């Protein structure tokens, strides 16, 4: 393998509207952005890779590795486009995924409607057989009953089966028996068992996770196979890795087996990208803001690491409220995601209020201004009417926007119902989507006990730089960074991600009654599991091993993550574990609870390859102030400023031609092929030595 080929890697992110490609070749970055192909997503990937390699002046066969993340699995769950799936569960627990946890996500709504379960009741099959909470068999599996269930599955034409039995997180033997008998009787059926997909306590979350995995498994397996074939046909016979929701890379085989791990792969890449930028500038407190064509994602990054969690929700059905979605119990980079992207559709509700999203125009037909048949207004239409977008230079000039179509859509669907004018309608749409995003950021910060005024925002994604300054005004944030390649930020993040995997196990155990041998045996199983996943990627370098225990005081209902010693646990290790818990609990809640026993609920073991730290750079606030006279813009146009509520004469600059270390005060717009950045009058921008745009508030003003 030549040095040239070794230096060439590509990251590919499929979003709801655009497919982004970032190609790194001999230290330079090349990017491409094409509309997502819903019929065959792999076609857009091949098209984007060809465009990027063409720009780099190399053949597609020169690519040495491709890292891919996608929202296809997420979209399949949201749109209910998965396989015909059966669910085999313990007798008496058939309705767990429908009863949920009995929580009300909207306490005062008397007509509340719970989300429909992913698998209808008629396709859920109860099976006799039972383990106790320690994993010991109480009742053997009823094999004749299992055979009758298998026959019903065969007769029903099911292509995928989820298996979730009680307490299988402690002992998966019953689930493995069911799988082996299924595969022997119905060859070709896809089977997912919860003891492998999500071996964690809490049946509702575990059952939902294995059902989701089974539901998207045939779809994702087919897609991944087609993608590998399409790449090979174009001469790209290089390794293909998948980004998983925990922020690491996994093999294609693992992704096909556990596609539920891909649900937040795109946003995870973006968080890795923002963490990399934060490390370059030595920023300990960062709010990453990713806004694409369909959704916006917000993530807190502290001490150069994004927040993580063991569960998250997809397909929230009630105004994005926590509890109204489908819980997925896997390791994930924690972020808030709302339906606020460039393609999010705006409308006026029965109360004459402007609403934006969660429905998106996507790439087919897209916003009205795309000229692809869309008739309803989207956020991109509002940005165009407000002057923030250039109809001729959108997506590097590959798409010419139709301003009149955008005006017509906004007038018909927003202005007319409000008896208003087009510009006011566009202003209302843009301000509503910005307020939705800032509210989500505020709520996330409050829940995490953080003050966003102390944070720096890092904005990326095709639409984020257009809206980031307004969010900073609303959130009281002083600094904003827009890195180079921000329009394809998640795809760049894939190239910065380590190889890694995290294994989870649940075993509720009090420290006063701790079974060291059992826990050490379980940790060794987890170690073998993560090492096996890493071997599948063919990576042979050094890896970092981390162990966390999820702990609580006995009697509490939820647990907190605590760092655990990575060696074999003994008496001294238990004392260190207890001390770490008390320290973490006191930091969160301000005090410890004296006299209560402590228990471990779950364990998480991760293995990640070491990635070299980025070269540090120093930020510059601009040694001198520039003006449009000393640094002429490429154009000027009228742009509507939301804070002032009026159109302003705005200078337009190309990012590539901006002077370095010179402060230019807003209002202005910095254009590049994949995105544009709006700098409001409250802020000034300085192009840093590494190509980042540093946008800083010039003076304290109200919003």
For residue 577, give the 3-state DSSP assignment: helix
Q: Which of 25-29, 121-125, 209-213, 534-538 has the lowest mean pLDDT?
A: 534-538
Residues 159-178 pLDDT 10s: 999 999 999 999 999 999 99
Q: What is the band of 5 on the pLDDT scale with cuts at 50, 70, 90?
A: very low
C-beta of residue 394 within 8 angstroms of C-beta of residue 400? yes
- H/E stretch holding 481 reads strand 479-482
Q: What percent of the chain has pLDDT over 90?
A: 52
Token pair in block for residue 85: 């799936």
| Helices 143-156 & 173-185 angle (0-180, nearest 10) | 50
Would you state the pLDDT for residue 263?
A: 87
Exposure b/e, 606-625, CB count within 10 A at least 16 = b: bbbbeeeebeeeebeebeee
- Sheet with 598-609, strands from edge to edge, namely 500-510, 598-609, 543-553, 560-564
Number of neighbours of residue 598 by Cβ within 10 angstroms: 23
pLDDT confidence of residue 445: 83
Please tell me the total number of residues recorded for the chain in this structure: 703
Rounded distance between C-alpha atoms, residue 285 and residue 588, angstroms: 17
**Average of pLDDT values for 362-386?**
88
Q: For residue 695, what are the contacts with CB-CB under 8 A and spacing of at least 6? A: 468, 469, 472, 479, 480, 481, 482, 677, 679, 683, 684, 685
d(CA 242, CA 252): 6
What is the distance, to the nearest Å, from the Cα of residue 217 to the centroid of all Cα atoms in its chain? Answer: 19
Q: What pLDDT score was predicted for residue 623? A: 63
Please list the alpha-helical segments (H only) found in 265-335. Answer: 265-281
- DSSP sequence for 121-137: GGGEEEE--EE-TTS-E
Name, in order, each residue with C-beta under 8 angstroms of 627's C-beta and a sequence gap of 6 or more: 664
- Among 317-331, 350-364, 369-383, 550-564, the range scoring the smallest mean pLDDT is 317-331
| pLDDT classification of 699: cutoffs 50, 70, 90 | low
* Cα–Cα distance measured from residue 1 to residue 22, given in angstroms and rounded to the nearest whole number: 21
Among 511, 517, 501, CA closest to 562: 511
Nearest residue to 374 via CA among 393, 392, 361 = 361
The C-alpha atoms of residue 122 and residue 13 are separated, in whole angstroms, by 37
> What is the pLDDT averaged over residues 23-48?
89
| Alpha-carbon span 489 to 291, nearest angstrom | 10
DSSP β-ladder status, 160-164 and 85-90: parallel
CB 374 within 8 A of CB 368: yes
Q: Is the pLDDT of residue 4 over 70?
A: no
State the pLDDT at residue 694: 93
pLDDT value of position 336: 79
Read off the pLDDT band of 1 (50, 70, 90).
very low
Count CB atoms within 10 A of the CB of residue 454.
12
pLDDT at 321 (0 to 100): 66
Confidence of residue 315 (pLDDT cuts 50, 70, 90): low
**Residue that wins the pLDDT comparison between 604 and 336:** 604
- What integer is the mean pLDDT of 394-398? 70
Tell me the C-alpha to C-alpha distance, in Å, between residue 50 and each of 32, 269, 461, 553. Answer: 9, 22, 21, 56
Measure the CA–CA gap between 172 and 182, rounded to whole angstroms.
15
Using the predicted structure, report yes or no on whether residue 253 has a pLDDT greater than 60: yes
**Helix (H/G/I), strand (E/B), else coil: 244:** coil
- pLDDT greater than 80 at residue 702: no
pLDDT at 192 over 90: yes
- pLDDT digit string (tens) for 516-548? 999 999 999 999 988 888 888 777 767 888 999
pTM of this structure: 0.86
pLDDT at 6 over 60: no
Per-residue confidence at 320, pLDDT binned at 50, 70, 90? low
Rounded-to-integer distance, Cα 667 and Cα 684, Å: 8
Cα–Cα distance, 195 to 269 (Å, whole number):
27
Q: What is the pLDDT of residue 703?
A: 45
* Residue-wise pLDDT tens digits, 198-246: 999 989 999 999 999 999 999 999 999 999 999 999 999 899 999 998 8
Find out whether 526 and 503 touch, Cβ atoms under 8 Å: yes
Residue ranges of alpha helices (H) inside 234-374 are 252-257, 265-281
pLDDT in tens, 69-115: 987 888 788 778 899 999 999 999 999 999 888 777 777 777 777 78
pLDDT, position 539: 73
State pLDDT tens for residues 497-521.
888 888 889 999 999 999 999 999 9
Which is it for strands 130-131 and 124-127: parallel, antiparallel or unpaired?
unpaired
The mean per-residue pLDDT over the stretch 676-698 comes to: 91
pLDDT for the residue 2: 36
C-alpha–C-alpha distance, residues 648 and 611, integer Å: 45
What's the confidence (pLDDT) of residue 629?
A: 67
Please provide the DSSP assignment of 146-212 as one string.
Answer: HHHHHHHHHHHT-SEEEEE-TTTTT--HHHHHHHHHHHHHSTT-EEEEHHHH---S-HHHHHHHHHH
**Position 343 confidence tier, pLDDT thresholds 50, 70, 90:** confident
pLDDT confidence tier of residue 480, bands split at 50, 70 and 90:
very high
């Amino acid at each position: 393998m030549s040095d040239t080929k070794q230096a060439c890697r590509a990251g590919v992110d499929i979003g709801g509207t655009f497919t982004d490609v970032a190609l790194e070749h001999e230290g330079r970055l090349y990017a491409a952005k094409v509309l997502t192909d819903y019929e065959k997503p792999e076609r857009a990937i091949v098209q984007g890779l060809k465009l990027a390699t063409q720009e780099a002046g190399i053949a597609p066969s020169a690519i040495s590795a491709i890292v891919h993340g996608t929202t296809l699995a997420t979209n399949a769950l949201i749109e209910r486009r998965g396989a015909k799936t059966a669910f085999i569960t313990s007798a008496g627990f058939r309705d767990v995924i429908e009863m949920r946890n009995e929580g009300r996500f909207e306490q005062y709504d008397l007509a509340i409607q719970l989300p429909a379960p992913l698998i209808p009741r008629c396709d859920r099959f109860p099976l006799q057989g039972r383990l106790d909470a320690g994993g010991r068999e109480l009742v053997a599996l009823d094999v004749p009953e299992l055979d009758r269930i298998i026959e019903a599955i065969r007769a029903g034409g099911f292509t995928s089966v989820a298996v979730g039995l009680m307490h299988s997180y402690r002992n998966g033997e019953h689930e493995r028996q069911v799988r082996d008998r299924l595969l022997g009787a119905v060859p070709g059926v896809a089977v997912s068992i919860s003891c492998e997909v999500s071996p964690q306590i809490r049946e509702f979350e575990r059952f939902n996770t294995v059902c989701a995995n089974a539901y998207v498994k045939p779809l994702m397996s087919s897609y991944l196979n087609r993608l590998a074939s399409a790449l090979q046909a174009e001469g790209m016979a290089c390794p293909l890795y998948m980004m998983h929701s925990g922020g690491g890379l996994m093999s294609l085989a693992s992704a096909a087996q556990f596609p539920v791990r891909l649900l937040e792969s795109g946003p995870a890449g973006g968080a890795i990208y923002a963490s990399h930028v934060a490390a370059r500038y030595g920023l300990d407190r960062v709010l990453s803001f990713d806004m694409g064509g369909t959704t916006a994602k917000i993530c807190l990054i502290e001490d150069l690491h994004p927040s993580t969690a063991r569960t998250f929700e997809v397909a929230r059905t009630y105004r994005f409220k926590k509890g109204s979605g489908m819980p997925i119990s896997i390791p994930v980079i924690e972020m808030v995601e709302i339906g606020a992207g460039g393609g999010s559709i705006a409308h006026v509700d029965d109360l004459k209020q402007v609403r934006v999203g969660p429905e998106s125009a996507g790439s087919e037909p897209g916003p009205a201004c795309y000229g692809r048949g869309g008739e309803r207004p989207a956020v991109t239409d509002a940005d165009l009417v407000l002057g923030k977008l250039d109809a001729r230079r959108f997506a590097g000039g590959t798409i010419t926007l139709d301003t009149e179509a955008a005006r017509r859509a906004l007038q018909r669907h927003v202005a007319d119902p409000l008896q208003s004018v087009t510009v006011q309608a566009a202003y209302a749409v843009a301000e509503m989507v910005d307020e939705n995003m800032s509210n989500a950021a505020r709520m996330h910060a409050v829940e995490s006990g953080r003050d966003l005024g102390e944070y720096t925002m890092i904005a990326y994604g095709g639409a984020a730089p257009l809206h980031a300054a307004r969010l900073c005004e609303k959130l009281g944030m002083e600094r904003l960074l827009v890195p180079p390649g921000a329009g394809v930020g998640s795809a760049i993040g894939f190239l910065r991600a380590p190889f890694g995997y995290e294994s989870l196990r649940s075993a509720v155990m009090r420290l006063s009654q701790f079974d060291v041998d059992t826990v050490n045996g379980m940790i060794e199983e987890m170690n073998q599991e993560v090492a096996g996943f890493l071997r599948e990627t063919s990576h042979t370098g050094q890896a970092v091993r981390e162990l966390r225990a999820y702990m609580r005081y006995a009697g509490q209902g939820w647990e907190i993550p605590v760092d655990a010693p990575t060696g074999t646990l003994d008496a001294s290790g238990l004392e260190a574990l207890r001390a770490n818990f008390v320290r973490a609990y006191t930091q969160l809640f301000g005090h410890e609870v004296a006299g209560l026993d402590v228990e471990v609920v779950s364990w998480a073991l991760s293995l990640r390859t070491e990635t070299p730290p980025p070269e540090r750079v120093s930020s510059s606030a601009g040694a001198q102030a520039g003006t449009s006279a000393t640094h002429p813009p490429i154009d000027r146009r009228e742009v509507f400023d939301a804070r002032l509520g009026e159109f302003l004469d705005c200078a337009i600059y190309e990012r590539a031609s901006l002077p370095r270390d010179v402060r230019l005060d807003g209002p202005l717009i910095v254009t590049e092929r994949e995105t544009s950045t709006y700098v409001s009058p409250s802020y000034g921008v300085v192009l840093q030595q590494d190509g980042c745009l540093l946008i800083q508030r010039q003076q304290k003003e109200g919003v």
